[in-house]
Amino acid sequence: MPADSASHPLLRLAAVDKSFGAHQVLHGIDLEVRAGEVVVLLGASGSGKSTLIRCVNRLETIDSGEILLDGVPVPSEGRELARMRAQVGMVFQSFNLFGHKTVLENITLAPVRVRGVPVRRAQERAHELLARVGLADKASAYPAQLSGGQQQRVAIARALAMDPRVLLFDEPTSALDPEMTNEVLDVMSELAAEGMTMLVVTHEMGFASRVADRVVFLDAGRIVESAPPQDFFAGPRTDRARDFLSKILTH
């Protein structure tokens, strides 16, 4: 870690533009996430939340601007990109576990293949992580034998197995019923309390107000508000955010 890492954000997007064909989806995105900070990204459907998250680890290319991890520009390809991606964990709505592999294999695969961690050590760590997400007894299960909430907690354990510096979440609970949603949000809250740096797209406003250090509101590909949750929820400054909140809170 660079000696001056306290002086710059762990993750920084600067003037990021992104288009799909003629459709510009992100406009001059400036966003900083400091070490240990939890930032919740809100916005209407189609506002660019997933695209923004996917740009961070280069699942999408960007047209212009810069993305820096711990002050170092994230390369757009090659071995350097692979190394950087290993530091950025990602959890999706759809879990994306390997269905033909056990829970333990799902969690140990990347550390063993990408990091060269010895299998035995990767397995020990996987068992620790499973205990941490409340699934100590599920190591030999297959994903299809688990509930959605359990699968998502495995996906979180899998991301943690790479010792990421930042975790990105894209609507991790929107495919889950309320009880399973709470199981997953509890795990995320614990990670936040332990100091994990997180950028989270979610429609869970309770989580956002309790756990986020900052809420960032995206409207049509532009960040139009960035505020501590208590300020944002008590008094959004833009009509778009007010409109968004009135819709989401009356659901």
Ligand X SMILES: Nc1ncnc2c1ncn2[C@@H]1O[C@H](COP(=O)(O)OP(=O)(O)OP(=O)(O)O)[C@@H](O)[C@H]1O
- Amino acid, single-letter form, for residue 54: R
**Binds 45, which of ligand X, Mg ion, none (CB < 5 to 8 A, cut-off by type)?**
ligand X
Residues 6+ apart with CB under 8 A from 79: none
Among 12, 49, 158, 214, binds ligand X (CB under 6 A): 49
- Distance in angstroms between the alpha carbons of the first and the last residue of the chain: 44
Report how far residue 16's alpha carbon sits from residue 30's, in angstroms, rounded to the nearest whole number.
Answer: 7
Part in contact with ligand X (CB under 6 A); list of ranges 44-52, 78-86, 160-168, 236-244: 44-52
Residue 59's CB is within 10 A of a number of other CB atoms, namely 13
Q: Is 46 in the site for ligand X (CB under 6 A)?
A: yes
Element containing residue 50 per DSSP (H, E): helix 49-56
Residue type, 82: A
Which residue stretch of 5-13, 42-50, 69-77, 235-243 sits at the interface with ligand X (rule: CB under 6 A)? 42-50
Measured from the CB atom, the residue of 50 and 151 that comes closer to Mg ion is 50
Residues of this chain, 178-207, that bind ligand X according to CB under 6 A: none
**Interacting residues with Mg ion between 1 and 60 (CB under 5 A):** 50
Burial class (CB in 10 A: 0-12, 13-18, 19+), 55: buried
Decide: is 173 part of the binding site for Mg ion (CB under 5 A). Answer: no
* Least distance (Å) between residue 247 CB and ligand X: 12
**Per residue, what are the HEC states of 70-96?**
CCEECCCCHHHHHHHHCCEEEECCCCC
Q: Which is nearer to ligand X, 50 or 108 (CB)?
A: 50
- Nearest distance from C-beta of residue 88 to ligand X, angstroms: 18
Q: Interface with ligand X includes 117 (CB under 6 A)?
A: no
Instruction: Output the smallest distance, CB 68 to ligand X, in A.
Output: 21
Give residues 21-40 in contact with ligand X (rule: CB under 6 A): 25
Closest residue by Cα to residue 153 from 178, 125, 181: 181
Binding site for Mg ion (CB under 5 A): 50
Residues that bind ligand X (CB under 6 A): 20, 25, 43, 45-51
